[in-house]
Structure 1
Amino acid sequence: MFTIFITSLCLILIAASLRQIFNSLEHDHKIFSFQVFLSILLLYMIIMTGFGMIYLCFITQGIPVYMDSSHTQPLPWMEEMGRSMYFSGMTLFTVGYGDMIPIGAGRWIVILEAMVGYSLPAALVIKVWQNVHHGER
């Protein structure tokens, strides 16, 4: 039950952050600004942290979501949080060094996170392009 609550809360936070960045781009008529850059950076941090917390929540409940080649035993909470954040970042930015791989339920969570990480830059470019062309009319 705890896992479902935390997962839902993180997904709601991620969705709200995505909605906020697109709304701010709609009302900001500049193509790019330092504020937009910081907003996008913050958005990525929220998404990475949110999914990292989801992975950590599953792991603390005894549900494996990734396998780390360097550690076979569970780590203390703070170290496990670091691993979860690292795994989330590598997934979000579709880097995937190969030192950690998704397993079990983690495979489905990874697909969702990778879709967000892969489609977000394209969606942001399209949104800015639409705003520029609507401003010309």
Structure 2
Amino acid sequence: MGLFLWIIIIGICIILLASLVDFIRGGRLRVNIQMRESRFSAEIFYTLLVIYLIVILGFGLIYFILSINNILLVENGELRKVSVIGSISHSLYFSGVTLLTIGYGDITPIGVGRFIALVQAIIGYILPTAFVLRLVQSNQENRDE
């Protein structure tokens, strides 16, 4: 794989990592999240939705870039070449399924894709916990004031 593709992959990883760390630490645009009488907050819901979309798109791009030179995702146990649009859709689908569930098994990674999928699954497992802890911390800070 060319040096340019590795630079793009590293750039995507840096952006993903910076976004997640920025979110966990409270971010530059610190939003004062207050718990109201309502148990549902649209701001909290949209924040979590945007974070998940960023991670799905970021990892989907990583899978797609890695699949440009070789087959990275195997569908139903068969190695087969797909078009660029098919590769993008497979990459985004696999990224979403890996982040949001434990995977269906219809598309499986091979090679370095296994390690990347493992990292994404760990992020998908830890992200809701970090989000809840962040809310509890904000709520506690609001009570202390």
Q: TM-score range by the shorter chain?
A: 0.7 to 0.9
Structure 1: 5+ residue runs without aligned partners? none
Deviation at 1:38, TM superposition (A): 1.3
Unaligned runs of 5+ in 2: none
TM normalised by structure 2 equals 0.83
Identical positions, percent: 32
Q: Letter of the aligned partner of 2:42 in structure 1?
A: F
Q: Is the 8 A contact 2:74 2:80 kept in 1?
A: no
The RMSD of aligned alpha carbons is 2.0
- Counting only pairs closer than 5 Å after superposition, residues 1-137 of structure 1 correspond to structure 2 as 1-22=3-24, 23=26, 27-31=31-35, 33-62=41-70, 64-69=71-76, 72-137=79-144
Q: What is the letter of the counterpart of residue 80 of structure 1?
A: S
On the 8 A contact 1:26/1:131 being kept in 2, the answer is: no
> Displacement, 1:91?
0.6
Measure, in 1, the Cα distance between the counterparts of 2:80 and 2:46.
38
Per the normalisation by structure 1, the TM-score is 0.87
Poorly superposed stretches of 4+, deviation over 6 Å: none
Q: Distance in 1 between matches of 2:78 and 2:61?
A: 19
Aligned length: 136
Q: Between Structure 1 and Structure 2, whose CA radius of gyration is higher?
A: 2
Offset of 1:20 from its aligned partner?
4.2
